[in-house]
Chains A and B, each alone.
Chain A
Amino acid sequence: MHRSLDEINERIARGEAVVLTAEEAARLREAEGVKSVSKKVDVVTTGTFGMMCSSGLFLNTGHTDPPSRFQRAFLNDVEAYGGIAAVDLYLGATQVSQSNPEYGGAHVIEALLRGEPVRFRAEGARSDCYPRGSVEGEITLRNLNQAFLFNPRNLYQNYAAATNSSSRVLYTYMGKLLPGYGNVMYATSGELSPLLKDPNLRTVGIGTKLFLGGAIGYVAWEGTQFNANPKRDAAGVPITPGATLALVGNLKEMSPDFLRAAYIPGYGVSMFLGIGLAIPLLDEDLAETASRPDSQLKTVVLDYGVARRQRPVVGEFSYRELKSGWVEIMGKRARTGSRTSMRISRQVALTLKSWIKEGRFSLSQFTRPLPVEGRSLPWEV
């Protein structure tokens, strides 16, 4: 069945739109088939809550009197980048504190979001424009002029799972990998995963509105390391890392339920972030991909025991297998573990669904499509 974006938005405005989460759509498909999903459902909401290292916060403190220029700035001892205009800063989520290696940018962002005061110190060269050399004080989210996340790479379209053939424990951003293929860790919400449900990026592009950290955010650009040509299954769904998105959203409107700092031993600081896309079911093809269940979505497993850029693929599993808690890899029964919270991923999809049902969130036409060609190239150095 065909329906236009305008028709869907009219149905949302009238309170008539049928909105299901991607999990609900998968169950409907299993019970009644794709045609029924296509006929009955207008919008499918997705969600994920995983660690998104390539995230950070732009902030503006307002000018001091006399004015100062923040060339080196620290928030709770975590350095923010000041190589832009005088009191603009960028605080990266993975930047580590000078005094505590388990504390970093993500913790500062979470503290600000919770309304906690954050210690601030900065210094810069004195000039006729900026006579004051250094500033010390406290900032809170409320007192910042602007505080918006700008994340260069979020929402990987599928991500390779990880295992470890070596004889020692590896501490990676995919978690603790036990020796001798002792476990398999994965980092995608599977059937709820946003970009897996629109594998050809037909409904998402630059300018698309989405759920970001509990607020409405936007796609700013293609994400870094965007890969338009991942390995795909027969139906065109990526089974290796594909598209990524650069996202922007107002921290002041976000919620700590959907943004949490993380510390990964051996790797450092990262940030859990809840993100969800609403996919309009414009036709049966979109109904087919958006309602795909875990059993029909796959990922490859890479061996992190091989310390090379090209880690060997040692397995391929469906998300149903990975979510069962155990898989057999290289002839061995191994534990599986997720890096993504399914519980909060579901909460993202359900919240987005309720926003649409309440008429608070309409679907947007992007202003420019994402690239259809181009790989993420390595650097030979």
Chain B
Amino acid sequence: MKLFLHFPKEIVDKPIITALIKELGVEVNILRAKVTQNEDGEMVADIGPDPDRAISWLKAQGVIVAPLSEKIVKHEELCVDCGSCSGVCPSGALSMGADDRLVFDSDKCIFCLFCLDACPTRALEALE
């Protein structure tokens, strides 16, 4: 399950992912990470095979966890289906489907956010 993890700066220096893997024995595939000392950190990770246990464990450590699929929203009334966003989408989550309409496959999204400022009509939004 792909998760969006937010590490408040108070815990950003702790080896939380290492502990998660060692203590719970889960598999973690880090898709994107932004960590700077003394600042809040952000990570997108695919966690399995028992994500629910991992989520409660992470929350107990002070990590803010959100499922990824709720994050990118397309505003239909603004989108002209040009494809500018799909051209910067490395995972292929955004692609042009039948009738050349933009299709968003949330399962493929790695939350890189490249698409947001690639859209000329500001039709994509990341919701916190």
Closest to A340 in B: B82
* C-alpha spacing A263/B80, complex, angstroms: 13
Assess whether B87 is in contact with A338, with CB atoms less than 8 Å apart. Answer: yes
Instruction: From the candidates B85, B100, B101, name the one contacting A337 in the complex (CB within 8 A).
Output: B85
- Check: B88 CB closer than 8 A to any chain A CB: yes
Assess whether A337 is in contact with B86, with CB atoms less than 8 Å apart. Answer: yes
Interface-side segment among B1-9, B40-48, B64-72, B89-97 = B89-97
Q: A262-289: which have CB < 8 Å to B?
A: 262-265, 270, 272
* C-alpha spacing A342/B92, complex, angstroms: 19
Closest to A173 in B: B120
Instruction: From the candidates A260, A323, A339, name the one contacting B84 in the complex (CB within 8 A).
Output: A339
With A260-B121, A336-B87: A341-B80 Cβ-Cβ less than 8 Å: yes
Closest to A176 in B: B118
* C-alpha spacing A344/B86, complex, angstroms: 17
* C-alpha spacing A338/B101, complex, angstroms: 12
- A-side interface residues, number (CB < 8 Å): 33
- Check: B114 CB closer than 8 A to any chain A CB: yes
Assess whether A260 is in contact with B86, with CB atoms less than 8 Å apart. Answer: no
Instruction: From the candidates B80, B87, B114, name the one contacting A260 in the complex (CB within 8 A).
Output: B80
Question: Which residues of the partner chain B approach A346 to less than 8 Å between Cβ atoms?
Answer: 100
B53 to chain A, nearest CB (A): 35
With A176-B118, A270-B120, A338-B96: A325-B84 Cβ-Cβ less than 8 Å: no
B122 to chain A, nearest CB (A): 7
Interface-side segment among A60-68, A152-160, A177-185, A355-363 = A177-185
Write out, one digit per residue, whether chain A residues 44-60 have a CB within 8 A of any chain B CB (1) or not (0).
00000111000000000
* C-alpha spacing A184/B118, complex, angstroms: 13
Q: How large is the interface on B (under 10, 10 to 19, 20 to 34, 35 or more residues)?
A: 20 to 34
Question: Which residues of the partner chain A approach B101 to less than 8 Å between Cβ atoms?
Answer: 343
A250 to chain B, nearest CB (A): 22
Question: Which residues of the partner chain A approach B117 to less than 8 Å between Cβ atoms?
Answer: 171, 176, 265
* C-alpha spacing A343/B81, complex, angstroms: 7
* C-alpha spacing A343/B95, complex, angstroms: 13
- Check: A335 CB closer than 8 A to any chain B CB: yes
* C-alpha spacing A102/B82, complex, angstroms: 19
Question: Which residues of the partner chain A approach B118 to less than 8 Å between Cβ atoms?
Answer: 175-176, 337
Question: Which residues of the partner chain A approach B82 to less than 8 Å between Cβ atoms?
Answer: 49-50, 272, 338-341
Assess whether B80 is in contact with A335, with CB atoms less than 8 Å apart. Answer: no
- Check: B51 CB closer than 8 A to any chain A CB: no
* C-alpha spacing A79/B89, complex, angstroms: 36
Assess whether A335 is in contact with B87, with CB atoms less than 8 Å apart. Answer: yes
Question: Which residues of the partner chain A approach B100 to less than 8 Å between Cβ atoms?
Answer: 341-343, 346
* C-alpha spacing A51/B83, complex, angstroms: 13
Question: Which residues of the partner chain B approach A325 to less than 8 Å between Cβ atoms?
Answer: 86, 92, 95-96
* C-alpha spacing A37/B62, complex, angstroms: 68
Question: Which residues of the partner chain A approach B86 to less than 8 Å between Cβ atoms?
Answer: 325, 335, 337-338
With A340-B82, A342-B100, A343-B81: A175-B88 Cβ-Cβ less than 8 Å: yes
* C-alpha spacing A183/B87, complex, angstroms: 6
Assess whether B96 is in contact with A185, with CB atoms less than 8 Å apart. Answer: no
B15 to chain A, nearest CB (A): 30
Closest to A326 in B: B92
Instruction: From the candidates A102, A182, A272, A337, name the one contacting B83 in the complex (CB within 8 A).
Output: A337
Question: Which residues of the partner chain B approach A339 to less than 8 Å between Cβ atoms?
Answer: 82-84, 120
- Check: B76 CB closer than 8 A to any chain A CB: no
A213 to chain B, nearest CB (A): 14
Contact surface of B with A, Cβ cutoff 8 Å: 80-90, 92, 95-96, 99-101, 114, 117-118, 120-122
Q: List 14 A-B contacts (CB under 8 A).
A: A49-B80, A175-B84, A175-B87, A176-B118, A178-B114, A185-B84, A335-B89, A335-B90, A337-B84, A338-B82, A339-B120, A341-B80, A342-B81, A343-B80
Question: Lowest 5 A-B CB distances belong to which pairs?
Answer: A337-B87, A338-B83, A262-B120, A342-B100, A176-B118
17 additional A-B pairs beyond A175-B84, A335-B86, beta carbons within 8 Å, are: A49-B80, A49-B82, A51-B120, A176-B84, A178-B88, A260-B121, A263-B121, A270-B120, A335-B89, A335-B92, A337-B118, A339-B84, A340-B83, A341-B83, A343-B101, A344-B81, A346-B100
